[in-house]
Structure 1
Amino acid sequence: MIKDRNELKWLRRSGDEWRWVQQYISRHADARMRGNTERFARRKVEGYDQVVVDIADFEQTTEGLKFVTRLKNALRQHRYRSASNGRKPCTFSLPNSTRASLSRRAKDNRVTETEVVTMLIDDAEWAARKHSEREKTLKTTLALERMRSELAIESLKAQFEETMKHLERSTERLVMWEQAMESEQPPFEGDKENVKREVEKRLKKVKTVNAIIALSYDVPSRN
């Protein structure tokens, strides 16, 4: 089974470059590399993702890393010489410092200046694509978080409404008792401090829910 790997920055998924890379591996990888049991077992598997897995296997060793470097250089030459790779002459002016940097990069990497420009553009496209993917993932995450927040607010609103109904019923019973007994305070011989603490405990819950709902709608809460 092909393992999930990241996309190769230097190999385009579109087109059939992966096929050329697989052929290069078959022709130029030494016997020890090609004799890897895991790779040998899946040798008939083709596709871009398979190439990604093969390259990841090569990069586990020093010799494999050197081989991948040679492969990249060969791929650049293949792109440059490919008849199917349409080319159009371009003329543009560059600052002297940029021109010198371009020449230096080409010399250091033993490639042409055209290949350097192509690689830089490919890298920029790859970075832009990855940025777009991350942005899409972030938007999805934010949408889910917003949905969860809205559900939480709805739940708090329901709790608040239920608490207010309970408070309304309690107030109604108190008024009925006052009118029936013609007294504002019922006879009570218990611990008034305990009563006070219980009242504060119940009101604290109401105030907390009220404050959260008020913040979600950016309105002042009633304490």
Structure 2
Amino acid sequence: MGVNFVLKATGLCKAYGALRVTTDVSLCLSPGEALGIIGPNGAGKTTLLNLLTGTVRADRGRVFFKGTDITSVNPRKRCRMGITRSFQVPQPFAGMTVFENTLVAATYGQGLTEAKAREHAADALQRTGLWKKATVRAGEIGLLDRKRLELARSIATAPKLLLLDEIAGGLTEAECRELIELILAIKSEDVSIVWIEHVLHALLSVVDRVMLLDLGRKVAEGDPHAILRSPEVAAVYLGLELDAAHG
């Protein structure tokens, strides 16, 4: 495997009993490249992120990060190496302030001194528009700000690979545009991104490629607009027969 890829996963398989969640999924990412992942509910998208972060161990397959096999590396070490993620359902430390939540991420994710961690946490809150709410308890902020906090905590770890799980869901159009600008700014720093999203116009504004998953398998991958116009997408989302979609 060439070390020019930030991320390379080969043949990832995960099953729970008879239920196969991912089957032989492979992907790769170059520095600063963004991959969008789409698919219906139950397609295995979030499980794939869990396999990449190490919170779920694959039954088969391997994961490489910057040329190093990290298949057996635990989530904390993967985070310290530069892999971080947001969660579809934000779950901050409700009793801690917004700043304290971000400070924990900076400390845990990078192993910084307190002074340096505070700098990174403050920068992440400035970039996500949360600085004015830094002293508010995380349990008191609304859903949209919780999503911003998810992104701030990710940024605070100084990632080289950022995994986003439906971060745009529930945002207004204006908030979505701000989010897109922020993610593009992160991407411009040679941060690679894997983004699961149902808000397709947001996804298309950022990603270089799109992968379509269905029932745990990769169905198609390529140019975002071409994939969305493909018969495979019609077959997955609309229930059309693939042969008929070609006709």
Q: Scaled by the length of structure 2, what TM-score is found?
A: 0.19
Q: Identify, as 1 or 2, the structure richer in helix.
A: 1
**Per residue, is there more strand in 1 or in 2?**
2
